[in-house]
């Protein structure tokens, strides 16, 4: 009886160890939860921002409504500046430069076309990008399309506008950069995204020469999304486009870059510029439908934020897309981003290091064998 009692005690102890492993209570090692600052201090609109922050819960959100300072940026990993209409001050730009110089940072800036007062945003953004040392620029003009056909995308034919020449739709087709996890950006996306009244992204070299990223791309630049069957228009009479001659690019046979990134490998910083905004704007990228056209805006914004978070926390690594909805990035840990879209558009983000399910099952079987053996021994003739 003493041996049976000892075996039962050992079984209980073993189960007390195995149970938390199989249920996951100690199986997860959380990486740093990144902080995203959204700027509203420079005339930006907050349209759809509450939806974005309410659904993307794998980051910490901070909304800034005052001048940007080094103190405000101290714990920030990702800074979003969506379509500024007021220029950043010299002190603010210095604070952002110093923040970027610390490394492991992500900066996204959204622009506008030159329609109405949009030309001012283009000037503000281009001056800012020059000041921080980025090659990215906005084209001085607008991207339009009168094309009535469709563009084949993710197995189906999609419109290139949402029913009007200025309601441009873009397609997430990132350059293949496994070292920078670009597969994450298009994971689960089967429909276009809206850029309402946009311009496109170009780049400038160290000699001040502007380049068409469709035909000439520097190695540190990554194209993320494109307009198709489009042309260039000019609304502001005070300038001409920097790259795309509006006469040469006047018919809807062209492709332009909607989102483009620059990677600073020495600092592990990623800088992204787009021709319109994720939030704010007349109709920002978060939109899931516009004028009856289904869009993948929520999934795009979620993928985009997850991508930025992965870069700033992990640096270059090997990326594998395991399902259309799941992007798994293997670095020193395994980062799994799973976005489940229902009517409430919820998103979960889980970081795991070890899957203990198989281990738990094997250990559980061994414990059961011990228990059964103990019972059989106890029942042998001559045992009490």
Residues 88 and 231 in one domain: yes
pLDDT above 50: residue 319: no
The structural domain count of the chain equals 2
Query: CA-CA-CA-CA torsion for 107, 108, 113, 119, nearest 10 degrees?
Result: -30
Domain match, 118 and 6 both:
no
Whether 144 and 239 share a structural domain: yes
357 has a pLDDT exceeding 80:
no
Domain that holds residue 17: 2-25+358-379
pLDDT at res. 4: 45
Work out the average pLDDT over 360-379: 47
Residues 42 and 94 in one domain: yes
Query: Does some domain include residue 21?
Result: yes
Task: Please indicate, yes or no, if residue 347 is contained in any of the structural domains.
Answer: no
Question: How many C-alpha atoms does 28 have within 13 Å on its Cβ side?
Answer: 11
Q: Is the pLDDT of residue 182 over 50?
A: yes
pLDDT given for residue 325 in this prediction? 35
| Mean pLDDT score, 160-170 | 98
Strand extents, DSSP E, 46-176:
60-64, 78-82, 106-110, 136-138, 142-144, 150-153, 156-159, 167-172
Lowest mean pLDDT among 54-63, 289-298, 317-326: 317-326
Alpha carbon distances (Å) from 35 to 45, 75, 253, 299: 20, 7, 41, 20
Give residue 218's Cα distance to chain centre: 22
Whole-number mean pLDDT of the chain?
82
The answer to whether residue 21 scores a pLDDT higher than 80 is: no
Res 259: pLDDT: 98
Residue 158 lies in a domain: yes
Element (H, E) at 95: helix 90-101
Domain's final residue, options 284, 313, 342: 313
Is 375's pLDDT higher than 90?
Answer: no
CA angle 163, 165, 167 (to 5 degrees): 65
Query: What is the chain's percent helix, strand, coil content, to nearest 5?
Result: 30, 30, 45
Instruction: Examine residue 326 and state whether it is found in any structural domain, yes or no.
Output: no
Eight-state DSSP code of residue 274: E
Q: Across residues 330-359, what is the average pLDDT? A: 34
The span from the CA of 284 to the CA of 298, in Å, is: 10
Centre a 10 Å sphere on the Cβ of residue 315 and count the other Cβ atoms it contains: 16
Residue 85's pLDDT is what? 97
Residue 374 and residue 231 share a domain? no
Rounded to two decimals, the pTM is 0.77
pLDDT band, very low/low/confident/very high, at 219 (cuts 50, 70, 90):
very high
Do 171 and 158 meet the contact criterion of CB atoms below 8 Å apart? yes
151, 244: one domain: yes
pLDDT at 287: 97
> Are 268 and 373 found together in one domain?
no
Say whether both 130 and 156 belong to one domain: yes
Q: CA-CA distance, 82 to 125, in Å (whole number)? A: 10
Q: Would you say residue 343 lies in a domain?
A: no
Q: Are residues 17 and 162 in the same domain?
A: no
Asked if residue 55 and residue 147 are part of one domain, the reply reads yes
- Grade residue 314 by pLDDT with cuts at 50, 70 and 90: confident
Cα distance between residue 74 and residue 276, in whole Å: 27
Averaged pLDDT, 205-224: 97
Predicted local confidence at residue 186, as pLDDT: 98
In this predicted structure, the answer to whether residue 242 has a pLDDT above a threshold of 90 is yes
Q: Give 214: exposed, middle or buried? Use CB within 10 Å, 0-12, 13-18, 19+.
A: middle
Q: Which residues contact 284 (CB under 8 A, 6 or more apart)?
A: 47, 48, 82, 194, 196, 276, 277, 278, 297
**What CATH number has the domain bearing residue 62?**
3.40.50
For residues 65-74, average pLDDT: 98
Tell whether the model's pLDDT for residue 113 goes beyond 70: yes
From 297, 313, 329, the end of a domain falls on 313
Task: With respect to residue 334, please indicate whether it lies within any of the assigned structural domains.
Answer: no
User: What average pLDDT score do residues 18-43 get?
Assistant: 62
What is the pLDDT, as a whole number, of residue 145?
Answer: 98
Per-residue pLDDT, 373 = 53
Q: Is residue 154 part of a domain?
A: yes
pLDDT of the residue at 315:
65
Angle (CA) 171 273 156, round 5°: 5
Say if residue 231 is in the same domain as residue 365: no
pLDDT surpassing 70 at residue 28: no
Q: Which has more pLDDT, 237 or 374?
A: 237
User: Is pLDDT at 15 greater than 70 in this prediction?
Assistant: no
Q: Is residue 3 left, alpha or beta, with left meaning phi > 0 and alpha meaning psi from -120 to 50?
A: alpha
Of 51, 57, 143, nearest in space to 350 by CA: 57
Residues 178 and 266 in one domain: yes
pLDDT digits (tens, 9 = 90+) for 252-309: 999 999 999 999 999 999 999 999 999 998 999 999 999 999 999 999 999 999 999 9
* Mean pLDDT score, 89-110: 98
The CA distance from 384 to 273, in Å, is 80
- Bridge partners of 150, per DSSP, are 159
Q: Is residue 229 within a helix (H) or strand (E), and if so which, with residue range?
A: strand 221-233
Average pLDDT over residues 148-161: 97
* Inside any domain, residue 348: no
């Amino acid at each position: 009886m003493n041996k049976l009692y000892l075996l039962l005690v050992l079984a209980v102890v073993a189960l007390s160890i195995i149970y938390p492993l199989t249920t996951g209570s100690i199986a997860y090692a959380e990486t740093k939860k990144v902080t995203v600052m959204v700027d509203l201090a420079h005339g930006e609109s907050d349209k759809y921002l509450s939806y974005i922050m309410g659904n993307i819960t794998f980051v910490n959100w901070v909304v800034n409504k005052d001048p940007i300072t080094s103190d405000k940026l101290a714990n920030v990993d990702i800074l979003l500046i969506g379509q500024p209409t007021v220029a950043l001050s010299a002190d603010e730009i210095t604070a952002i430069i110093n923040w970027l110089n610390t490394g492991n940072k992500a900066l996204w800036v959204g622009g506008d076309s030159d329609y109405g007062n949009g030309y001012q945003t283009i000037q503000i953004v281009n001056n800012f990008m020059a000041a921080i040392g980025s090659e990215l620029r906005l084209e001085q003009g607008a991207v339009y399309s009168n094309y009535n056909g469709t563009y084949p995308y993710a197995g189906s034919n999609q419109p290139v506008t949402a029913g009007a020449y200025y309601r441009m739709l873009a397609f997430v087709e990132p350059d293949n950069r496994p070292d920078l996890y670009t597969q994450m950006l298009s994971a689960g996306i089967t429909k276009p995204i809206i850029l309402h009244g946009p311009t496109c992204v170009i780049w400038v070299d160290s000699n001040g020469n502007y380049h068409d990223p469709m035909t000439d791309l520097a190695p540190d630049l990554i194209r993320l999304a494109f307009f198709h069957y489009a042309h260039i228009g000019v609304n502001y009479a005070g300038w001409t486009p920097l790259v795309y001659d509006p006469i040469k690019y006047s018919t809807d046979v062209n492709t332009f870059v909607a989102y483009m990134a620059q990677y600073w490998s020495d600092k592990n910083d990623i800088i992204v510029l787009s021709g319109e905004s994720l939030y704010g704007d007349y109709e920002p990228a978060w939109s899931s439908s516009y004028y009856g056209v289904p869009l993948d805006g929520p999934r795009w914004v979620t993928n985009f934020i997850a991508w930025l978070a992965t870069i700033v926390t992990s640096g270059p690594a090997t990326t594998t897309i395991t399902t259309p909805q799941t992007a798994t990035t293997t670095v020193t840990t395994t980062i799994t981003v799973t976005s489940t879209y229902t009517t409430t558009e919820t998103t979960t983000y889980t970081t795991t290091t070890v899957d203990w399910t198989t281990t738990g099952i094997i250990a559980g079987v061994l414990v059961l064998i011990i228990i059964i053996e103990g019972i059989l021994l106890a029942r042998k003739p001559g045992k009490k």
